[in-house]
Structure 1
């Protein structure tokens, strides 16, 4: 029996003050060839080509300066997929209540008027945290929840038409307790850091995404459980959600990069567990060979002058 063909991936990184692109998901400590790119060059390649690995590789490597580094080089800093240098040129947002579990196991009916899921704005793209970085939350959350999710990545062209680039994975940490106290507080609920992995998968939005969450406290496992956040687990069809979101001109600004979270499975909160200050959340996306960890930190409010 033949194994499925791995989905091609790429990533961007800063090395000694310059921006580079690499291909694949290298293991820690592995040697990796990187290709020098200008800010926005990789994003522009997704607008100008068909988005395939071959066309993207040709667009960004031909004539590019090369450097070979080890992936644990302290001067190498990975970046969220396609993140522009200019603040405000990328948005992070997402959909709520998208899983079949929350709809009695059903799927949205075909045809007829589309009733979209609720949507939220999380922040600018440079608010995104990377694996290993701290996820900060307000000092006194009611009840936090980790949310392993698929994040779709889109680049708008000069006319504002969105071009799908690929997908990555993230943890949309939020205060579900605040949301449940009053759904109108959801914008506050979402004011917690979100982590995204730096790997951009170049395939269509995934149908199956499975894995496991482990939350550690004081060096010991405090909770663990599985999750499924692929398209087949959703009540809504990904295409319908994306088309509805991009019907709004505000997310179609020319040159804008959009990270769009597709919603999360039930998690530790639904099992009665409560995330505490200092807990470490490890998400292992077993179906795609991606694992990442972040530590949660409660941050006291600043004094107003």
Structure 2
């Protein structure tokens, strides 16, 4: 099922079901948010799709108009943004079958030469142990904290790059959306497209700057796809400047294009008790192998990032906007 959050004609948050053709949205009469609908499903012991199907709703709205008018929100949020955890895992994707063979050869050669970097060593651990048998723990991935719910912007809204940033570039990724149940069990509502917007120049200075580079806004949506995923998901990532597409590249994700299983990545995130606090929301980015920055392209103010992954519904589009950070050296006040 394809679900969205939207603002109705009165400006209230509602849940909608997108039809199979992606043309119309049935607005549900029931819970006023995906968070509330998911809570109902957990309490009833049903799936999110089953819970949505049981809610009446006769109003139908044009999906394209909702997107155009900025009325589509991120598909999941917490009423208190501090209780929405945004995180991600890196070094998880192989790229393509051809690249996979080249990577294996490169890893073997670097291991023999003694020149294997820390990043490549972690990637190698994933290649060798990131796909364990179901119910088993595999290699740990690279993990990072991105912020809380206040860092998540809606589809169509600007991704803001602070004035201290050295770069602002897209990262097209698959995102898992979760709600922790009353007993501490993580419940996956489904998956969405995400733009894990980052500062790649800062990260490239030294991999220990990864944490700094990730503390930025990000975008998720527009749709939440319930249920499982195809192993091979293929789409396109683009950078638009005015009427021109200045960069475009295929975007591959899903377990067929990864060196870690989704189950393994979920385990290494939720094994920490602090990540299983009842009532909390988690938005977790699963990584990518496709970046315009890697091809020498630098996004400019006003450019629009477009991530298209047909298996997860409508594309995610967000413009880049530079903003003042609002804080300067010496800004801490002693009490």
User: Residue in 1 aligned with 2:16?
Assistant: 22
| Aligned residue in 2 for 1:160 | 184
Correspondence for 2:161? 137
Higher fraction of strand: 1
Q: Secondary structure at the residue paired with 1:100? A: coil
Q: Distance in 2 between matches of 1:289 and 1:29?
A: 11
Which whole-Å deviations, capped at 9, do the CAs of 1:211-236 have from their partners, x for residues lacking one? Answer: 11221224322111111021211111
Cα gap change, 1:135 to 1:13, in 2 (>3 Å): same
Candidates 142, 150, 175, aligned match of 2:199: 175
Cα distance in 2 for partners of 1:206, 1:78 equals 25
Calculate the aligned-residue CA RMSD, in Å: 2.7
Aligned to 2:173: 149
Task: Give deviations 1:134-181, integer Å, cap 9, x for gaps.
Answer: 000122533443111110111111121111111111111101121111
Q: Which moves more between the two structures, 125-134 or 234-243? A: 125-134
Secondary structure of the corresponding residue to residue 263 of structure 1: coil
Tell me by how many angstroms 1:303 deviates: 5.1
| Deviation for aligned residue 1:113 | 6.4
- Residues 1:53 and 2:46 aligned together: no
Distance, in Å, in 1 between the alignment partners of 2:163 and 2:21 is: 36
> Of 9, 13, 17, which aligns to 2:2?
9
**Residues 76 and 215 (structure 1 numbering): CA distance in 2 closer, same or farther, change over 3 Å?**
closer
Question: Which residue number in structure 1 is paired with residue 295 of structure 2?
Answer: 271
CA–CA separation in structure 2 for the residues paired with 1:177 and 1:290: 30
In structure 2, C-alpha distance between the alignment counterparts of 1:57 and 1:169, rounded to whole Å: 23
Task: Assess, with a 3 A threshold, how the Cα gap between structure 1 residues 202 and 143 changes in structure 2: closer, same or farther.
Answer: same
Q: Any conservation in 2 of the 1:34–1:68 contact (CA below 8 Å)?
A: no
For the pair 1:261 / 2:285, whether they are aligned, the reply is yes
Q: Given the alignment of the two structures, is residue 92 of structure 1 paired with residue 86 of structure 2, yes or no?
A: yes
Structure with higher Rg: it is: 2
- Residue by residue over 1:244-280, the C-alpha shift from the partner in whole angstroms, topping out at 9 and shown as x without a partner, is 2111011111111111110012221121212222211
Calculate the TM-score normalised by the size of structure 2. 0.78
Where does the alignment leave 5 or more consecutive residues of structure 1 unmatched? 1-7
1:283 alignment partner, SS class: strand
Write out aligned runs for 1:1-305 (5 A).
8-15=1-8, 16-24=10-18, 30=24, 32-39=26-33, 40-48=35-43, 49-51=45-47, 53-58=49-54, 61=55, 67-71=59-63, 72=65, 77-101=71-95, 104=103, 107-109=127-129, 110=132, 114-302=138-326, 304=328
1:174 is paired with a residue whose SS is coil
Separation in 2 of the partners of 1:303 and 1:197?
Answer: 30
Query: Which moves more between the two structures, 97-106 or 295-304?
Result: 97-106
Structure 1 residues 69-117: Cα deviation after superposition (integer angstroms, max 9, x where no partner):
4443698833322312222121111101111249726844446863211
**C-alpha distance 245-261 of structure 1, shift in aligned 2 (>3 A):** same
Number of residues of Structure 1 aligned to a counterpart in Structure 2: 294
Query: Higher helix proportion, which one?
Result: 2
Using structure 1 for the length normalisation, give the TM-score: 0.85
Q: Which residue of 1 aligns with 2:114?
A: none
Distance, in Å, in 1 between the alignment partners of 2:58 and 2:6 is 13
- Name the structure 2 match of 1:5: none
